Amino acid sequence: MIENAKIIIFSFFASLGFGIVFRIDKKNLCLAGLGGAITRCAYIFLLNITDKVFVYSLFAAMTAALYAECMAVWKKMPSTILLYPSILPLAPGELLYNTIVNFILQDFEKMLYYARECAVRVAGISIGFVLISTFTYHKRVYYLGKNFVGHLFKKQAR
């Protein structure tokens, strides 16, 4: 529990830091950090439910994309601004590293395993983005005839 809380806090600061690197305005930096923390929460939660890399990457990315889209509507800015820092803690750096190390050690069985895991995670993240962005692009998350996002922030649907 404490370990998870620590990782969530680290994710907040990682996203906040990348927010500065990507030159996000000061007033949106905390939202960027929050995006990272929410994505990490979803990731940890999903990791307890399933061990399928594709499934937890997909849903964690969908959480990040949904958060970014909701904030984009609320703040009237492109979703990309919060999407990039939110998703960075999910990037499969350790899988790529293990693929390389096993390539160097010529343990091709392990190398292929890590390479496959890496590819599946990237595919999961990408598909998660595409699903949410395609849906919101056309409909901006309409729910039962109401603009769900606008409804969330107590705004009238257009």
Partner 1 sequence: MNDLEYILDFVVNLGGRMLGTGANLERVNDTMNRICLSYHLKSISIFSLSKTIIVSAKSSNNISGTRQIAVSPAVTHLEKLRCLNQLSRKVCTETPPPHTLAMLLDEAEDVQEYSLPVIIIGYIVALTSLCGIFGGSIGDMFCADVITIILFFITRLLNKPNINHIISNALCMWIAGTLAAFFVLADIGQHFSIIIITNSMMMLPGIPLVNAVRNIFCSNEMNGILEILKITFETMAIVAGLCTSIYMFGGLIQ
Q: What is the binding site for partner 1 (CB under 8 A)?
A: 6-7, 10-25, 76-78, 80-81, 84, 87-89, 91-94, 96-97, 100-101, 103-104, 122-123, 125-127, 129-130, 133-134, 137
Identity of the residue, 23 or 158, whose beta carbon is nearer to partner 1 in the bound complex: 23
Nearest to 129 by CA among 74, 77, 69: 69
What is the closest distance, in whole angstroms, from the C-beta atom of residue 100 to partner 1 in the complex?
Answer: 5
In the complex, minimum distance from the CB of residue 20 to partner 1, in angstroms, rounded to a whole number: 3
**What is the residue-wise DSSP string for 55-78?**
HHHHHHHHHHHHHHHHHHHHHTS-
Please, which residue, 57 or 147, has the CB nearer to partner 1?
A: 57
CB of 89 to partner 1, least distance (A): 6
Indicate the length of the chain as a whole number: 158
- Write down the least CB distance from residue 126 to partner 1, Å: 3
CA dihedral 128, 134, 135, 140 (to 10 degrees): 120
Q: What gap in Å lies between CA 124 and CA 127, rounded to an integer? A: 5
If we measure between CA atoms, which residue out of 79, 75, 85 comes closest to residue 133? 79
Q: Which is nearer to partner 1, 41 or 122 (CB)?
A: 122
Question: By C-beta, is 55 or 144 nearer to partner 1?
Answer: 55
The separation between CA 88 and the C-alpha centre of its own chain, rounded to angstroms, equals 7
